[in-house]
Amino acid sequence: MVRKRRIIKERVPTPERPAEERIHDFKEVNLGYTFGLAVKEAERCLQCPYNYAPCIKGCPVHIDIPGFISKLVQYRDDPDKAVKEALNVIWACNSLPATTGRVCPQEDQCEMNCVMGKVGDKINIGKLERFVADYAREKGIDEELLFEIIPKIEKTGQRVAIIGAGPAGLTAAGELAKLGYDVTIYEALHEPGGVLMYGIPEFRLPKSIVEKEIDKLRKLGVKILTDHIVGKTVTMDELLQNYDAVFIGSGAGTPRLINAPGINLNGIYTANEFLTRVNLMKAYLFPEYDTPVKVGKKVIVIGAGNTGMDAARSARRFGAEVTIAYRRGEEDVSARIEEVEHAKEEGIKFAYFLNPVEFIGDENGKVKAVKFEKMKALDERDSRGKRKIVGTGEYVTLEAETVIIAIGKHPNRLIINTPGLEVDKRGKIIVDENLMTSIPGVFAGGDAIRGEATVILAMGDGRRAAKAIHEYLTKKREGQKANA
Amino acid sequence: MYKILEKKEIAMRNVWYKIQAPHVAGKVKPGQFVIVRAFSNGERIPLTPVMWDAEEGWIVLITFIRGKTTMKMAAELKEGDYILNVAGPLGNPAEMKKFGKILAIGAYTGIVETFPIAKAWHEIGNYVTTLHVTFEPMVVLKEELERAVDSHIVETVPIDPNLDFPTNMKNVTKRLTETVREMLEKEDYDLVFMVGPAGDQRAVFNVVKEFGIPMKADLHPIMVDGTGMCGSCRVTVGGEVKFACIDGPEFDAYQVDWDVLIARSGYYTDMEQRAMQEYMKAIQGGGE
Ligand SMILES: Cc1cc2nc3c(=O)[nH]c(=O)nc-3n(C[C@H](O)[C@H](O)[C@H](O)COP(=O)(O)OP(=O)(O)OC[C@H]3O[C@@H](n4cnc5c(N)ncnc54)[C@H](O)[C@@H]3O)c2cc1C
Ligand SMILES: Cc1cc2nc3c(=O)[nH]c(=O)nc-3n(C[C@H](O)[C@H](O)[C@H](O)COP(=O)(O)OP(=O)(O)OC[C@H]3O[C@@H](n4cnc5c(N)ncnc54)[C@H](O)[C@@H]3O)c2cc1C
Ligand code: SF4
Ligand code: FES
C-alpha cells in the first residue's frame, strides 16, 4: 500500500568540491550527505512494496532499497539507530556499501528503474547507500554489528583458499568466514583490494575506506597472504591439497594494447600502469613517495570507459591539458555518468570518432604525437547495441607528451594457465551455474569470469560462490561423517 | 614482513642481504626474480635470489647501490630488521638443458644473476665458463663461481678518479667486448648468455652476432608489479610486444629491439637523480 504524501520532485543535492579547487589535489570530489540531508532525500522515496519495487529488480544483488531507506526516516530522531538498522538491511546483500555507493553505475541499475523518475528526479540511492556506510564507519556502528555476528559463528573446521583480494575475493572471504570456514586469501600485490586499491583513484574512492573493509575481514578471522602469486609462489595443486575448496577472484588485470607502430615509445602508459603508479604507489606524492610518473603538458587518453575517465582526471591533477579520444560517439561512452560530468567540469576535452593508428616518437624514443583515423558511425548496430563504426580514410595527428591507453583488459594470465582450468578464447574462466570451474572444488567469479565488468557484479559473484562453496562443503562434511 | 638474517657489504657498492622468505625459497628456480618493497613509501624493485635454502627458508639478494632505493636499503636496513614485501618468485626459470659449451657473462653486479643459472647449467652437464667484467673494487662471488662452474674468469678495470663515472663505464664496455671477442676467437661456444646494463648487452651481442653463436639475454626493463598487470616492462622482441616479467626475463638476443629497451630503461633518469639527491641531502643534513 502506498501512503498518500506530498511528492518532492527535486533531489536533495550532495555537496561537491568545486572543479577549480579539486583539480589541484587527490582528495574526494563528492562530500556526501549529512544525516539531515539523507533523511530529506529518504523522505522522497515512495516506499514501493518489496515485491514490486523496480529499484530492487535493477540492483544486481537485490538490496532491499526501500527497506533501508525507510529506516532512515523511521528512526530519524536517533541517527545511530537509524543507520544501524539501515546497514543491517544493506549487509544482507552487500558487504561493501561504502564502495558500491561510490562506484556503482546507479543510473544503469537501481536508479534507472526508480518510479520517481516519472514525476521528478529519481531517488539518489547511491548517495544514500554511501551515507549509511560512511556514517556507520565513522561512528563504529559497522564494527558493533560485526561484533554481534562474530560470537555466533560456528566453525566448520574446513579450509577455503581465495585467489585475489579484489571485491570478488574479499566478498567471498567475508561470507565464508561468517559461515564458519577458515579462509586464507592469496594476493599477488603488497596491498589487498584489487582494482579498488590500484585502479580507482583516491578522489573517487579514498583508500582508507578500502583499508577499513579489509580490517573488518581480518577481524572475522580471514588471513591475507600478500606477495603470494598463485601459479608461482603456490600452485593450484598445492592449494587443492591444503584446502577443501578454492575461489578464484583474480580479475581481469592484463592490459590490452593497441596494435600500432610506436606502442613501446616512452610516454605511452597503459591505464593500469599509470593508475598503479599514481594510486597504489602514490606517485602524486613524489619524491616523498619513491615511485615516479611522468605527465606531460598535453595528455591524450585513449578510451572512454571508467578507466579512461580515471586516467584522464588523474592526469588533470598533475596540471595537464587532457583530451579523451574515443573511436565511437558520445552516446557510447561507457563510464558512469557522474564521472563523465566531473571530467567535463574539470576541463577535460572529449574527441569522438578517432581511432589511433600510429604513435609518433622523437629522436629519443619518446612519444610526441598520435595519428588517428577519423571514424564514422553506421546505422547498423552490433551485438551490444552500439552503432558500428568504419574508417573514413581521413587522418588527423594530435600532439601529446603522454598517452594513456585505456581500451580494456583481459583476465590475468598467470591464473588462466592453470592445468585443467577451462577458459574461453578470450581467457575468461568457464563456470557452471554454481560458479564451479572445470576443476572440482574450484569456483570463480568477478572479472575473471566476466572480463571487465563492475564492482557490484564481482561482489555478487563472491556471495553466490560463497553460498555454492558452503553447499559443496556441507555435502563433503556430511559425506565424511557418513563414511566415518 | 621478511626478516634480514644477515647483511654485509661484500664489495664496493655491493650489498648482500640474507632474508627469511620461505615462500620464495621453497619455489624459486634459477632465472626467476622477486619484487621487493622495502619501505612504506618506497617503490617496488625487482631483485634476483642468488642463493637459497628451501628447508631453512632463506634467500640471498645482492644489490648494487644505484639510486635511492638501493642506497636507502644499504643505509637504513640492519640485521634483524624486516623488509616489508618480497613477492615471488616471478618470471620464467632459465631454460635448463644441455647446450654444450656455454659462456655466461655478468657485467658489474649482473654476475650475481648469472650465478644461479650458470651453476645449474653446470650441474646438468654443460661445460660452463663464466666471465665477470667490472671495476676493480667491485668483484663479487669470485670463490663461489670458481667452485660452481668449469672456469671462471674475472676481468677488472680500474676506476680513474679523474674521469666521471659514465666515462669510466665506457672502459668497462670496451674491456667487455674485447674479452668476449678474444674468447670467441679462441674457442667454440654453443651459447652465450649475459646479464648487465642493456647498452653492454647490446655491445656484446654485436660481437657475438659476428660469430653467429646463439645468445640469450636476461632483460631488465623497469617493472612495477612483476605479475603482468601493468605493461611497464614491455619490450619489443621479434617485432612483437612482450612483457618481460611474465614472458621473460630471458629472451633471444637476436630478436631484441635494443633501442626500445635502452630508451625505456632510461625514461625516469632525471626523476631518479632528483630522488637520490634529495635523499642524500636529507641524510647528510638531518642526521638522525
Ligand atoms: C580504473 C578502473 C575504474 C573502474 N571504475 C569502476 C566503477 O566506477 N564502477 C564499477 O562498478 N566498476 C569499475 N571498474 C571495474 C571494477 O573495478 C572491476 O570490475 C572489479 O574490481 C572486479 O573485481 P574482481 O574482484 O573480479 O577483480 P580485481 O579487482 O581485478 O582483483 C583481482 C585481484 O587478484 C589479484 N591476482 C590476480 N592474479 C593473481 C594470482 N595469480 N595470484 C594472486 N593474486 C592474483 C590481483 O592482484 C588483484 O588484487 C573499474 C576498473 C578500473 C580498472
Ligand atoms: C628481473 C630483474 C632482476 C634484477 N636483479 C637485480 C639484482 O639481483 N641486483 C641488483 O642490484 N639489481 C637488480 N636489478 C635491477 C634493480 O631492479 C635496479 O637496480 C633497482 O630498481 C634500482 O633502484 P634504485 O632506486 O636504487 O635506483 P634508481 O635511481 O631508481 O634507478 C636506477 C636505474 O635502475 C633501473 N630501475 C629503476 N627502477 C626500476 C624498476 N622498478 N625495475 C627495474 N629497473 C629499475 C633503471 O634503469 C634506472 O635508471 C634487476 C632488475 C630486473 C628487471
Ligand atoms: S523505485 Fe524509487 S521510489 Fe520506489 S522504492 Fe525504489 S527508490 Fe523508492
Ligand atoms: S612489471 Fe607490470 S607487467 Fe611486467
Q: Look up the CATH number of the domain holding residue A177.
A: 3.50.50.60
Closest residue by Cα to residue A313 from A204, A224, A239, A225: A204
CB neighbour list of residue A474: distance below 8 Å, 6 or more residues apart: none
Look at residue A377 and tell me if it is in a domain.
yes
Least CA distance to A263: which residue of chain B? B241
On whether both A476 and A428 belong to a single domain, the answer is: yes
Supply the range of the domain harboring residue A184: 153-253+410-483
Q: Identify the domain boundary among A387, A407, A427.
A: A407
Q: Where are the domains of chain B?
A: 2-90, 101-218
Q: State residue A411's pLDDT score.
A: 83
Q: Is A291 on the interface with B (CB under 8 A)?
A: yes
On whether both A465 and A392 belong to a single domain, the answer is: no
Half-sphere exposure (Cβ direction) of B239: Cα atoms closer than 13 Å:
0
CB contact at 8 A, A324 and A318: no
- Residues A383-409: tens digit of each pLDDT: 888 889 999 999 999 999 999 999 988
CB neighbour list of residue B285: distance below 8 Å, 6 or more residues apart: none
CB atoms under 10 Å from CB of A107, counted, come to 13
On whether both A195 and A101 belong to a single domain, the answer is: no
Looking at this protein, which amino acid is placed at residue A8? I
* Residue B285 pLDDT greater than 90, yes or no: no
Handedness of CA A460, A465, A466, A471 (dihedral sign): positive
> Any idea which fold B101-218 has?
Rossmann fold (3.40.50)
In chain B, residues with a C-beta closer than 8 Å to the C-beta of A258 are none
Confidence of residue A5 (pLDDT cuts 50, 70, 90): low
On whether both A279 and A420 belong to a single domain, the answer is: no
In chain B, residues with a C-beta closer than 8 Å to the C-beta of A250 are none
On whether both A268 and A388 belong to a single domain, the answer is: yes
Mean pLDDT, rounded, for A180-189 = 96
Minimal CA separation from B41 to chain A, in Å: 5
Structural domain total, chain A: 3
* Residue B286 pLDDT greater than 80, yes or no: no
Confidence of residue B235 (pLDDT cuts 50, 70, 90): very high
The DSSP element (H or E) to which A191 belongs, if any, is: none
Q: Which of B10-14, B227-231, B274-278 has the lowest mean pLDDT?
A: B274-278
Q: State residue A3's pLDDT score.
A: 53
Q: Is A242 on the interface with B (CB under 8 A)?
A: no
d(CA A393, CA A257): 22
Least CA distance to A410: which residue of chain B? B229
- Residues B63-80: tens digit of each pLDDT: 999 989 999 999 999 999
- Residues B155-206: tens digit of each pLDDT: 999 999 898 888 999 999 999 999 999 999 999 999 999 999 999 999 999 9
CB neighbour list of residue A481: distance below 8 Å, 6 or more residues apart: none
* Residue B287 pLDDT greater than 50, yes or no: no
Give SS3 for A36.
helix
d(CA B178, CA A249): 52
User: Does the beta carbon of B272 sit less than 6 angstroms from any atom of ligand 2?
Assistant: yes
On whether both A269 and A395 belong to a single domain, the answer is: yes
User: Does the beta carbon of B130 sit less than 6 angstroms from any atom of ligand 2?
Assistant: no
User: Does the beta carbon of A267 sit less than 6 angstroms from any atom of ligand 1?
Assistant: no
Looking at this protein, which amino acid is placed at residue A269? Y
> What percent of chain B shows pLDDT beyond 90?
89
Contact criterion met (CB < 8 Å) for A290 and B85: no
C-alpha A435: how far from chain center: 20
What are the cell numbers at B15?
650489498
User: Does the beta carbon of B249 sit less than 6 angstroms from any atom of ligand 2?
Assistant: yes
* Residue A1 pLDDT greater than 50, yes or no: no
Contact criterion met (CB < 8 Å) for B85 and A190: yes
* Residue A84 pLDDT greater than 50, yes or no: yes
> Any idea which fold B2-90 has?
Elongation Factor Tu (Ef-tu); domain 3 (2.40.30)
Q: State residue B130's pLDDT score.
A: 97
User: Does the beta carbon of B246 sit less than 6 angstroms from any atom of ligand 2?
Assistant: no
* Residue A2 pLDDT greater than 80, yes or no: no
In chain B, residues with a C-beta closer than 8 Å to the C-beta of A229 are 87-88, 90, 227
Minimal CA separation from A406 to chain B, in Å: 12
Give SS3 for A123.
coil
Handedness of CA A424, A425, A428, A429 (dihedral sign): positive
B41, B87, B234: residue with CB nearest A290: B41
- Residues A226-285: tens digit of each pLDDT: 999 999 999 999 999 999 999 999 999 899 999 999 999 999 999 999 999 999 999 999
What are the cell numbers at B123?
650441474
- Residues A55-81: tens digit of each pLDDT: 999 999 999 999 999 999 999 999 999
* Residue A480 pLDDT greater than 90, yes or no: no
The DSSP element (H or E) to which B271 belongs, if any, is: helix B269-286
- Mean pLDDT of all residues belonging to chain A: 93
Q: State residue B284's pLDDT score.
A: 81
Give SS3 for B275.
helix
Q: Identify the domain boundary among A112, A127, A149.
A: A149
CB contact at 8 A, A389 and A377: yes
